[in-house]
Amino acid sequence: MLACALVASASPVFSQSSPYRGLWVGEVSLGAVNEVSVPLDANNVPRAPDPNVPTPTSDAANLRLILHVDAAGRTSLLKQVAVLSRKAGIQKSESDMSLVTDERLYGSFPPQAATRVSSVVFDFGDAKASAAVDQIADKAASAAATAAGQSGATQATVAAAAQAAAAPVVTQADAAAAFNTFLQTSLDAVKVRAIANGGSTVAARAAANALRDGSFYADTRGVEMLDAIEAALAGLPAGATQAQKEQLALNTAAAFAEASPAYDGFLAGELFGDMISAAATAAATAADAIAPKPVSAFQTSESGASTAAVSTAHGLVTGDEVAVFGAAVSAYNGIHKIVRIDNDRFRIAVGFRAGGAIGAYSAFTAIPPLIVESPAHGLKTGDRITLRDSLAAYNGKHLVTSIDANHFSIELPFESDPASRGMWSMRSGEITAYVGTGDGSAGVKISAPNHGLNNGTNIEIRGSGQAAYNGVKTITRIDADSFSIPMAFAGDPAVKGTWEIPVPIAGFAPPAVQPVLIAAPAHGLADGDRILISGSGKAAYNGEQVVTVVNAGAFTIPLPFDTATGNPAVKGSWLAASGGQWRKTAAIRAALDQVAKVAQARTAALGVKITPYSDTRAPDAVEQILNAIVRATATEEAPLATSAAKAAADFLASALPRYTGPSSAPSIDYSSFVHSQEFTGSVATASAAAAAAAAALKEKGNLLATPASIRDKALQAALEVLAPAQAAASRALLPALRMSGDFGPEGSGLATQIVLPANHPTNPFRHRRHPDHTRGFDIRRVVKLSFLPAEEQLSAAAYGVDRISGVYDEEIFGLHKSLGPNKDIGLKVRGSFQLNRVSQIDTLNGH
């Protein structure tokens, strides 16, 4: 029950998995780059292009793009992924498969022919490992340069200073040990419980900031962990108990304390999938052997606070668990612990829906489609328009359905027909420049590529940085890419704006056929509930009806409202329809307890627990999935294992609590490297410090030496000695690179940075046989993905979406000198991307 309350999208604890979860594979088509040269125009005058604006290329370059979205909606860029069967030859469903990005895990799967997808364009390693080596060199070089500048400096004193400065890097580089120390001293279970009960986070926050700022690694896990705990607690309902608060905080903390996403891996693992399959079969068999018994009526109990089910000679005792199904009021259906009233009645803890008098009948107009009146609109079904300057709910881009020459519809519910109805447009375009006509006549030439306009067309210019240009204008066509407007030239503003052909809207209306809206205060019903209307002056209303809830005081029934007769003087009343069945669940639960895979999953769940935080995530997940299976089988008249398994899978995707862990954590390869002899020995042997000291003292003897040149020589010498360590660092793999932002058209887009360190052995500026090329330049690739709006996607952006599109931007620093007046612009490329979802598996490397 606590988990069901934690569905707020901003909470680090969530039940609704991302609708975009899974593996997405597609292609980027690059068609524009920025220009780095300064070409000559027709008059041989240099015209420097704007380096911020990529210009079209004569052909395209295509890249493969592989993304993975986890249950929390967090996206990772992949360089390769294999789709492997957990059991040889079995791929009946996605629970039989795993997405593997770490090649070293292949051996844990059975031999098989598998699908592997890769992209050579996105090849990245763990840059943190190279950064650790760089940090040793930097610290040693800086200290050596400073010590060399002191009077009486010797090789021994300078080397000692360099080694003393570099030695702490080894400890600081062990991010895992530093984080564990933070957990034990600043945010253990005692402190987490105190925070859950309103305690201060000041001391823990200071320690988290120190963890982040205390080394080059900049570990943000402590800060993120505190933020997550506070956000989770803030998302709790007001009535949450102390125990619920504490357990939620502990479970949230456990998601950060685990060395790898063990909880998500457990849910995505083979055992969990096998448990669901075996439990569904056992539960369906057990439920099928229990004949359901009828409920002849539901009555009020405890003054309406609960409901009594009438079932002759039910044979139940207080505390028995039953499943009610088929009741007209959906709130009655489900699993209940009952209280025996007498031999023929038992009570369930659900408020009674008493029915009552009907207040009024009317037409419900707030339904789609919205009918738009626009004389001689000229649109056809499937055209896309932009509607603006109307109600906020109406404005935006829409697909139209043509009704007749003067009317079309869009898929929005009717709200009202406002006095200011606004405009719609289908034709529009970008403006790239404003130029005076130059022939002495009044007029402004506007560059608008491929505008397709004719003489005398009325357009509206919007968003221009020169306000005088905005508004409705009559154009004169010049050529296919330009036209003029009759007004004085007022400059060429930086913000050009856009043009469009606006068409006025004459009116909005609801659909011609509207359902009946019934006023019924505090009805307590839900969509799909069945009611009986009686005593209405309009005979068509009387009888059983299925309701659609509008609000707490009204619902609709699927009958068309007639303006003349639809609201009779005698309104009548409503009550819940009869019907329903029940069966006991004890035998089903007993059958589940005998399933071997259930016992194994329960045992394995204990192994997933982060014991110091009294973590209950995995054991709770097992029991909640089993409850979903019990509910599915016990509430079916003819229980089926397939429907029970589907119910469990749906619960796993949409209701089982998940926990957002850290945005990043030390990779396995990074942790191995910082404990390796190649790394720790680089300081312990003092070789880097000695080399830096010797180079610093030598450069000091140069008459033209400066503090900067002394440091540079010391750094170069240290890097040469550290080359073996840097080579080892370059082998640190990073199977997935986390992206910031949001996947999908509703979010902010995605971004990430791929770094090839200056000292990396594969840096293109390094040359092992050239003494001046021992150090390159840091090469950074800043990748951004911007998704097209939902209405412009090739398929609906929701559950079941299998294709999504957008704009790809990349800026590369380090391969070329920086561009622009501030020297802060890299090489830019732009294009479009299209991704197809090939799997909904939301966890990588699960087994």
What is the predicted pLDDT for the residue at 770? 66
**Which two tokens mark 352?**
């009674």
Choose among 216, 52, 432, 265: nearest CA to 847: 265
Is the confidence at residue 798, as pLDDT, over 50?
no
pLDDT in tens, 559-600: 999 999 999 999 999 999 999 999 999 999 999 999 999 999
Asked if pLDDT for residue 9 goes beyond 50, the answer is no
Query: How far is the C-alpha of 292 from the C-alpha of 333, rounded, in Å?
Result: 14
Question: d(Cα 141, Cα 718) in Å, to the nearest integer?
Answer: 7
Question: Which helix (H) or strand (E) element contains residue 156?
Answer: helix 155-173
Percent of the chain with pLDDT over 90: 66
Cβ(389)–Cβ(423) under 8 Å? yes
What are 300-316's pLDDT values in tens digits?
999 999 999 999 999 99
Give the three-state DSSP class for 13: strand
Mean pLDDT (the chain) is: 90
Residue with token string 């803030």: 234
Neighbour order of strands in the sheet with 22-33: 736-738, 75-78, 55-69, 22-33, 827-839, 803-813, 779-787, 749-756, 740-742
Q: Which residues contact 172 (CB under 8 A, 6 or more apart)?
A: 135, 178, 214, 215, 216, 217
Ramachandran assignment for 686, one of left (phi > 0), alpha (psi -120 to 50 degrees), beta (any other):
left
pLDDT grade for 67, boundaries at 50, 70 and 90: very high
| Residue 802: both structure tokens together | 């299998």
Report helix, strand or coil for 418: coil
Least-confidence region, from 249-253, 685-689, 752-756, 794-798: 794-798
Contact (CB, 8 A) for 372 and 415: no
CA distance 61 to 84: 31
d(CA 324, CA 465): 65
The tokens for 144 are: 């050596």
Computed from CA positions of residues 511, 517, 522, 526, in that sequence, does the dihedral angle turn out positive or negative? negative
Q: Are 139 and 216 in contact (CB under 8 A)?
A: no
Higher pLDDT, 238 or 88: 238
Mean pLDDT of 435-440: 68
Side chain identity at residue 24, one-letter code: W
Which structure tokens are listed for 15? 């039940």
Task: Using the predicted structure, report yes or no on whether residue 748 has a pLDDT greater than 90.
Answer: no
For 408-432, what is each residue's pLDDT tens digit?
A: 999 999 999 999 999 999 888 889 8
For residue 341, the Cα-to-chain-centroid distance in whole angstroms is 49
* Nearest Cα to Cα of residue 109 among 272, 270, 276: 270
φ and ψ at residue 368, rounded to 5 degrees:
-85, 165
Residue-wise pLDDT tens digits, 29-39: 999 898 777 76
CA dist., res. 627 & res. 621, Å (int):
10
- CA 441 to chain CA mean position, Å: 56
The residues near 240 (Cβ < 8 Å, ≥ 6 apart) are: 2, 5, 248
Half-sphere exposure of 65 (CA within 13 A, CB side): 29
- Please state, in angstroms and rounded to a whole number, the distance separating the CA atoms of residues 444 and 117: 53
Closest CA to 361 of 623, 559, 115, 585: 559
pLDDT reported for residue 186: 96
The answer, yes or no, to whether residue 1 has pLDDT greater than 70, is no
> pLDDT tens digits, residue range 224-257?
999 999 999 998 998 899 999 999 999 999 999 9
The b-or-e profile of 275-306 (16+ CB within 10 A means b, else e) is bbbbbbbbbbebbbebebbebeebeebeeeee
Residue type for 483, please? Answer: F
Confidence of residue 775 (pLDDT cuts 50, 70, 90): low
Euclidean distance between CA atoms 747 and 102, whole angstroms: 29
Question: Between β-strands 321-325 and 306-310, what pairing exists: parallel, antiparallel or unpaired?
Answer: unpaired
DSSP 298-326: EEEEGGGTEEEEE-TT----TT-EEEEES
Burial group, residue 655, by CB count within 10 angstroms (0-12, 13-18, 19+): middle
The gap from C-alpha 335 to its chain's centroid, in whole angstroms, comes to 33
Looking at residue 574, the DSSP 8-state letter turns out to be: E
- 270 torsion bin: left (phi>0), alpha (psi -120 to 50), beta (else): alpha
Q: What is the average per-residue pLDDT within 315-326?
A: 97
The span from the CA of 10 to the CA of 655, in Å, is 16
What gap in Å lies between CA 10 and CA 232, rounded to an integer?
Answer: 9
What does each C-alpha distance from 49 to 33, 53, 55, 322 come to in angstroms?
Answer: 11, 8, 9, 75
How many CA within 13 A on the CB side of residue 191?
A: 17
Phi and psi angles of residue 793, each rounded to the nearest 5 degrees, phi first:
-75, 155
